[in-house]
Amino acid sequence: MIILLAFILIVAVNFLGVQFDHTFDMTRNKINTLSDQSLTALAHLKHDLNLLVFYRSGENQQLRVQLRANFEKYLDASGKVKLKFVNALTHPSLARQYLEHQQFAVIADYEGRRVEINAPYGEQQTTSAILRVEAKQQKTIYFLTGHGERSIDGNQSGNISGFAKELRNEGYKVAQIDLMKGDKLPTPPGVVVIDGPTSPYLPAEIGELRKFAMAGGRLMICIDPGTQDNLAQLTNAFGIEFHNNYVINEFEQLNELGPLAALGAEYDRNNPITKKFYIGGRVMGSIFLVASEVTPMHNAPSGLTLTPIVKTSPEAYVSNNPKPMANPQHRVVTLAVAAHGQLDSGAKTPTTYQKNFEAVVFGDSDFTDNSFFRFGANQDLAMNSVAWLADDLTNISIRPRTPTATPLELTSTNQIIFLLSGLGLPLFFIILSGFFWYRRRSL
């Protein structure tokens, strides 16, 4: 009777497991769960998205199994995602429509637009392809050059090629403008990024940028303390004060980067750039290697909405020189401010070309550097700022995280428990089974 009940219980558990399949993601960065960015991209699908895997008979069998597992999360999340494996040898006409010379390829097809998904075909590569194939028209993000700004080319530290690459992955074009060479700013509401200049902007250039903003232009400005770039004149016009001081941080976890490495620990819960940072309960920090305080001005022009979007913890403080102080006044320090509204032209009557503008000002440019771009919330902070400025609210999200190792660290007590459960428990059952065997034998 007991054996029969046990058998029925096992059958029932297996039946429920098949009918109500559910998995649990125990990884630290939730790498086995689709990110907010992926879910947002799928939610905006209006038609079927076809994922086509082209292969040849007998080839790439293991990879095809892995691809099916990778794409299963997308199939479960949206009924509009369709997965099809196509043997290029038995369907040559279809293969010729999609392939050039590849023997193996994974293609995302949406409304006739096609984008190849790159290896290793993980969530980052798949969602990037979906975003690009969804975009009907590519917007261009312009980076200013000519004043020592960080370069969008080159993978070495000090450049921002990683930032530029991710913009392209999300469907944007990237271009450079040199005002010193006579290049023109884009037509508003185009997006211009000023990232880490080290030499001064001329008054005429400041005037052009201010005029661009007054006409509805969008600006992301990342400036560092101790540089004579003259951009404080521009941020003042936006109602944002760049203090040109140094934020000092004495957090133990950042000591290896020095006391000037400020940690962004608090984010605005309402601004589109940062409000999703609190989804899921676990908030990631953002790192600013050498940062200045930036704040809304008390006498800011009317008609502007100014929002501090990144702040430090209360343990930070500011100094006029890049050295820790003996008895500092610890407080929360603002590291970034978002602005939108209409600028005052200074004329007695509003000019016809005045339109609402948007700007995000950071007191540091290191968070976009190749060395720090993928740390914590840095990437989301930079990418969401551009998406907000470009009015691409669907691109504002929390992006897929890179898998990281999770070391198992055991205390002495945990080691004893581990040994007892790993060795003691099996030994107990061996002894118990031996006891019952001996007892039955003696009957």
The pLDDT tens digits of the residues spanning 351-399 come to 445 689 999 999 999 999 999 999 999 999 999 999 999 999 888 888 8
Domain hosting residue 106, numbered range:
29-133
Does pLDDT of 414 surpass 80? no
In a domain, 401, yes or no: no
Domain boundary among 133, 150, 178: 133
In a domain, 424, yes or no: no
Does pLDDT of 251 surpass 80? no
Pair (119, 147) in one structural domain: no
In a domain, 170, yes or no: yes
- What was the pLDDT predicted at 352? 46
Pair (209, 109) in one structural domain: no
In a domain, 19, yes or no: no
In a domain, 425, yes or no: no
In a domain, 6, yes or no: no
* Cβ neighbours for 275, distance < 8 A, ≥ 6 positions apart: 267, 268, 269
- What was the pLDDT predicted at 51? 97
* Range with lowest mean pLDDT among 201-210, 235-244, 257-266: 257-266
In a domain, 430, yes or no: no
* Chain center to CA of 249: 24
Pair (119, 167) in one structural domain: no
Domain boundary among 83, 116, 133: 133
Pair (60, 98) in one structural domain: yes
In a domain, 16, yes or no: no
Pair (378, 272) in one structural domain: yes
Pair (144, 102) in one structural domain: no
Pair (254, 331) in one structural domain: yes
Pair (84, 192) in one structural domain: no
How many structural domains are present in the chain?
2
Tell me the C-alpha distance between 98 and 96, whole Å. 6
Domain boundary among 86, 105, 133: 133
Tell me the C-alpha distance between 403 and 91, whole Å. 37
Pair (335, 218) in one structural domain: yes
- What was the pLDDT predicted at 222? 98
Pair (148, 104) in one structural domain: no
Pair (184, 55) in one structural domain: no
End-to-end CA distance of the chain: 22
Which CATH number does the domain housing residue 127 bear?
Answer: 3.40.30.10
- What is the average pLDDT score of the chain? 86
Which CATH number does the domain housing residue 332 bear?
Answer: 3.40.50.880
Tell me the C-alpha distance between 217 and 177, whole Å. 15
Pair (178, 43) in one structural domain: no
* Best CA proximity match to 158, nearest among 381, 373, 377: 373
Tell me the C-alpha distance between 191 and 393, whole Å. 14
- What was the pLDDT predicted at 271? 96
